[in-house]
Structure 1
C-alpha cells in the first residue's frame, strides 16, 4: 500500500463510510494520517470526582448511572448522572439532549471534558463527551489517547473514536513508506523528528514528550510551506525591474516646509525608508503600518510628491468612497500649493467629468488620482504610473491590487493600514512586503477616554451627549445594522435614527448614514456633519475609516460586544482628532464573561498593537481579517498566535532555501518542491515554477 492508496481499500470501510470520509476531504491513506486528533487525553492526568474544584476545566472518566429530562424554569434540560469510584457528577444540556440520548446508554463509560460548576452538587454544563465502548476499556487504561473531531454524519455510519483509531492503526500496520522532504541536516538544525515518526506519534504516543515532538514537527511543516510561498512571492517581486526615482524634485521640500505642524520622528523615518526604496530599480513593495491618528496620510502625500517630482503618476485606492473623498481633500489641499494636478475617481460620476479625468490620466496631464475600485476598471489608463498607494489594504483582494499595478510598468507599491498587526501575523500574511511602522503619535493628540456601560444606563449616556452638544461639540452613534428587521435582537441605525429624532434628541439636528445609501446621499450628510450643521451622526460602520471631524468628541457604539476589538479601536479613532477631550462609550447588552473581558481591554488601553494582539488571541486571524483572507490561515495543527518561535525558524529556513535555489529545481529541494506544488498549485504559474 502507498500513501496515495484510496481509503476504500481499508478493512471495514464500505461505500457508506467511504462516502462520509470523502465529504470530509479524506480520500487517501495520507489524508487519514493528516486527520489530526482535536485533543489528546492523558490518562495519568484525569480528575476524580471527589477532588473537583468549582471553576476548573477538567477531564474525567466516569460511568453512566442514569439519564433523562428534568423540568426547570428555563424549560426542560437533559441530565446525565455519572460516577467513578469516588462520587457522583451531573452533566447538563439545555439543548442537544435528543442527540446525546441516542448515543449513550446506562453503564457506558464516558470521557468528559468541561468546566466544573456547583448547583447542589458538582455539575458540568454542556460538556464535551466521548463514549468509550467495551473494546476500548483496556486502551483507555494508560498512555495518551487521541480524540478525533467527529460529526453526526460520521457517527451515523459507525465512524466513532474506536473505529477511527482502528483505521489509523490499519494504515501503520500496512507498513507504508513515508519519506521525509527535509534533509537530516535540516532536522538536526531545527531539532525536528522525522516525518514518519511524527505522524505515528501524533496519533499514538506513550508520553507527553513524544507528543510534543510530533506536534512541533507537524506545526513546523505547515508554517514552513506557507513561509516558502511568502519567500517565493518576495523573490519574484525583487527580480523584476522598474524605473528608479532618483530625484527629490521641487515639490517635496515646498510641501514639507509649508506644513502647519512638525512631522514626528517616526514619520520622517518611514518617509526615508520609502525614498530609499524608490531610488532602487526594482519595484517597492512596502506596508506602512500605524495606529489610528499617527499621520499616515501626510506620509502618503509627501511620498507622492517625490514620485511626481520624477515625472511619474500616482494612484491612491481606498476601500470606500467616504475615505477616498477624505483623502482627495487632504491631497488636493497640499498639492494646490505646488500646482500638482489631482483628481477624484469614484463609481458614480457624470460621464463628461469621468471622460475628462480618463483623458487627463492617459495623456499624463493629471499627476495624482485618488479613488475607489473605480480605478481598476478597464478603461482607466495611465501615461506613466510610477506609484500605487493602497489604503486599508486588507480590505482589497490580491487580484484587485494586481489589477491596479498592471496599469503601469511595474510601479512601486505602498500599502497602508491603520489596523496594527501582531508580528507573527505580519510576517505570515504580509511576509512578502517590507514593513515600516509609524509608532509615534503627534504630540497634540489627547488620549480618548473609553467607558463600557450597560444598556440600562443609556439614558444617562444620552444626557451626557446633550451636555457636550450644548457646548458646541458633535457626536457619532454607531449601530451594527441598517434596519431592525435584518436581525431582530440588534439595534439598527434607521430605526434608532427615527426614534432618537422623535424623543431623546428631538431638539438636536441628527443625520443618518449607512452603506445602503447612494454615494451622493452619504456625501451630503457627511459634508453637513463636517460643517457642524448636523450635531449627531447616526451610522453603521461605514464611518470606521475616512471620517475626520476634529469637533466630534463622542463616539457611542451600540452592541459593542458584536464588534471585534480592532474594529472598535478604528471607530474610537474617529474622535479625539481636535483639541478637546474626547470619549468613546461602548454600550453592551451581552453580560457574558467573554464580553466583559474583551471590552475591558478597550477601557484599559489605547495602544492599537496591544489591542490587535488581544483580538487575535480571542478571535483568531480569520475573524480579524475577514472571510476573504481567512482561507490563508486554515491550518490543521499550527497556531499563528502561539507558534511565534516555530514561525521564525520556519521563515528562516524558507528564505534561506529560496536564496540558494529560487526556482526549487536543485536535487536537494526536489521533495520540498513536490509537496509545495500540491499545497499551492494555484500559485505556481504566477511564481513561474512550472
Structure 2
C-alpha cells in the first residue's frame, strides 16, 4: 500500500496490512444519501440530505465558541451549528456557496437546525450518489472520507477473482465473491435495508461462508498434519487401569466410562492425541485423566499433569497420590515454591525415569525439567495457558499425547469453529448423590442476615467460604481487601476459627491453610478468587461471594462449584452492591436462573462474543469478524464439510482461499 507511514500505522490498527485487506474491511452500517429532501418536507427527528445556499456565517462566543451558519433553499431557512471547527471551515461558508448536508433535523433557537452535519460544497448539477454510503469501523485520526477513498481505490484496482468454482457455488447457492464484495461496499438504494443491517443478505452470507471456510481449512489442516506425526502407541493393558477402577469406593458414571473408552482408543494410536475433555464443575474429569495416566504408565511411559495455580495443582497431587500410590505409582511434585534441594530431587527423579507421574504448575515446562520418557501431557483448565506454554510442555517428549481438561463448558458452535482441530469429549452427567447448589442474590444492605446465616451454618457443624471481590486493576488492592475482610470477620465471629488464603501466600502456607480447612480446624475461610478451581471440601456447604456483580459468569459458576461437593444441600449467596450496570444485572440473572454449566456458557458467549469469551485467544485460532456463532450454525456446518472435501481432494482452492483470508496468519500455533 503506497500510504504514508502514519496512515499505514492507523490502518494496521484496523487489521489492514495490504490492499486486499481494504476490500474485506466491510461496513458497520449504511446511510442513505441518495435522495434529496426539500427543506419544507424535512421532519424533526429525521436524518435527511438537503441542499441550501449560505446566507450568512458567524462565530458566536456565547455560551461557547460556535460557528453558526444560516442557509436557505428559497422556501425555508436552515441553521447549522459547529461546536468544534477549523478556521478553514469558516472560510468555506461564504454567502452564495451551495452546500449538500446530511444530518438530523432538530428544533433550534432560531428555527430548524442541524448540529455538526456532514456536508460538502456542490454545484447545481452535482449528481447524487448512486449507492448507500457505507460507514466503516475506523480509528482515531482516520476519517470516514479518507477510509472510503482508500477502499474505493482498492475495489477499482483488485480483480477479486473467485477461489471457489461455479459448480460448488451453485451447489451451495452462494453468489460470486467479487459481486458480493462490491455489493456490500456499494449497495443500491432500493436494497432491503433489514437484510443488510441484520447481515442476512445473500452477499453477507457469501462473505460469512468464506470467512468460516478459511477458519475451518486452517484448523482441519492442522488436525491432519498432527495425525501424520508419530507418537508412542499406548494400548490399554488392563493392569493399572483396571486396578485403579476396582480400588475406587464409588462406581464410574456412564459419561466417565464413555470418555475413558474414547481416550483409551486415542492413546493406542501411533499419532499424537489432542483431546479436550470438558465437563461441568464436579463431573469427575480428574478421575478420567487418572485412568488415562495409568494407561500410559502401564506402557512404561511417564505422565505430566500441569495446572494453572498451586492450589489446584496441590489438590490434584493430593487426590492422585491417594488413588495411585497404593498401586505402586511414583508421583513427584514440581512447583516454583519448592526449596532448592527438594526441587533438585524431584527433577533428578523425573530425568532418571523413576517418577511415573509429575504434577505441578507452569514450573513443569521450565528448561531445567527433563523427562526420560514423556508419553502423555495432561493440562487442566487449558484455557488459562498460552499456546507457547502448552507447546513447551509437549516438547518435553518426542511427540507426547495431550489431554486438555476444562471445567468451563464450551458451547457447541464454539467447539465446531474454534476447536475444530481438536477431538472433544464431554462428561455430561454428575456423580450420583450430588445435591444441586441453591443460589441467592442478596443486596449488600442485607449483610446482617448473611452474617447470621454463616453463624447458623457453622454452629450446625458445616463450614463456609467468604470470597473477596476481584479487583482486576490491582492484585495488591485485592489482597488489601481480603486482609481487611479477614480482620472484620474475625471480630464479627469471635467464636469461629477464621482462616485466610490468597495468591501471595507461599505454597506451603496455602497448603497448610487448605489442610486446616479440610480437617475442620478452620470453620470460615476468607479467600480471594484463587480458590476458583480445584478446591474440594465436602463439608463446606455455604459460600458468600462479595461484589458478585464484578465477576464474570464463568468465575461465578466455578466459585459456586466449590460447595455442594458432599451429600448435604449447599447455598451460594451472591452479595451485590448497587448501582448495577445492565451487563452486571444480566449476569446475575443468568447465574441465579441456571445451574447447567453449558447453558451458562452459551449465555456468556451470547453476551460477550467469542473474542472476549476466549480471553487472549490462547488457542491460536483466527477470530471471526463477520460470522455469528449463534445465527450462522448452518454456515459453520457447511463450511466444515466443504473444508474436509477440499482437503481430501487436494484442491488448489484450499490454498488460494487460505491465502486470501488469513495470509501468513494461517500458520498459527495450536497446542
Range of TM-score over shorter length: 0.7 to 0.9
Whole-Å separation in 1 of the counterparts to 2:598 and 2:61: 48
**In the alignment, is the contact (CA less than 8 A) between 1:482 and 1:494 conserved in 2?**
no
Post-superposition shift, 1:656? Answer: 2.2
Q: Structure 2 matches for 1:109-128, cutoff 5 A?
A: none
Find out whether 1:339 has 2:321 as its counterpart: no
Q: In the alignment, which of 196, 207, 228 is matched to residue 218 of structure 1?
A: 207
Whole-Å separation in 2 of the counterparts to 1:393 and 1:275: 20
Q: In the alignment, which of 400, 403, 426 is matched to residue 414 of structure 1?
A: 403
Aligned length: 630
Partner of 2:660: 675
Find out whether 1:545 has 2:533 as its counterpart: yes
- Paired residue secondary structure (1:416): strand
Find out whether 1:34 has 2:24 as its counterpart: yes
- Residues 56-76 of structure 1: CA deviation (Å, up to 9, x unaligned): xxx85599xxxx9999xxxx9
Post-superposition shift, 1:431? Answer: 1.4
Whole-Å separation in 1 of the counterparts to 2:387 and 2:104: 44
Q: Structure 2 matches for 1:97-108, cutoff 5 A?
A: none
- Once superposed, what is the RMSD of the aligned Cα atoms? 4.2
Post-superposition shift, 1:466? Answer: 1.3
Partner of 2:440: 451
- Paired residue secondary structure (1:419): coil
Partner of 1:428: 417
Partner of 2:239: 250
**In the alignment, is the contact (CA less than 8 A) between 1:484 and 1:490 conserved in 2?**
no
Structure 1 residues 238 and 135, CA gap change in structure 2 (3 angstroms)? farther
Q: Structure 2 matches for 1:113-512, cutoff 5 A?
A: 131-134=117-120, 144-154=132-142, 159-161=143-145, 163-172=146-155, 174=156, 176-206=158-188, 207-208=191-192, 212-481=201-470, 492-502=481-491, 504-512=492-500
Partner of 1:584: 572
- Residues 394-442 of structure 1: CA deviation (Å, up to 9, x unaligned): 1111221122222222222111110000112112222111111000011
Whole-Å separation in 2 of the counterparts to 1:349 and 1:188: 64
Structure 1 unaligned runs (5+)? 1-5, 9-13, 53-58, 81-96, 114-120, 122-128
Post-superposition shift, 1:364? Answer: 2.1
**In the alignment, is the contact (CA less than 8 A) between 2:470 and 2:478 conserved in 1?**
no
- Residues 74-119 of structure 1: CA deviation (Å, up to 9, x unaligned): xx9x9x9xxxxxxxxxxxxxxxx97799999999966579xxxxxx
Structure 1 residues 160 and 336, CA gap change in structure 2 (3 angstroms)? closer
Structure 2 unaligned runs (5+)? 36-40, 51-59, 69-81, 94-98, 108-114
TM normalised by structure 1 equals: 0.81
Whole-Å separation in 2 of the counterparts to 1:274 and 1:398: 22
Structure 1 residues 197 and 460, CA gap change in structure 2 (3 angstroms)? same
Partner of 2:600: 611
Find out whether 1:629 has 2:615 as its counterpart: no
Structure 1 residues 168 and 346, CA gap change in structure 2 (3 angstroms)? closer
Whole-Å separation in 2 of the counterparts to 1:520 and 1:675: 53
- Residues 515-539 of structure 1: CA deviation (Å, up to 9, x unaligned): 2222222222222212222222222
Structure 1 residues 309 and 351, CA gap change in structure 2 (3 angstroms)? same
- Paired residue secondary structure (1:554): strand
Partner of 1:90: none
TM normalised by structure 2 equals: 0.83
- Paired residue secondary structure (1:382): coil
Greater C-alpha radius of gyration: 2
Whole-Å separation in 1 of the counterparts to 2:159 and 2:353: 63
Structure 1 residues 70 and 414, CA gap change in structure 2 (3 angstroms)? farther
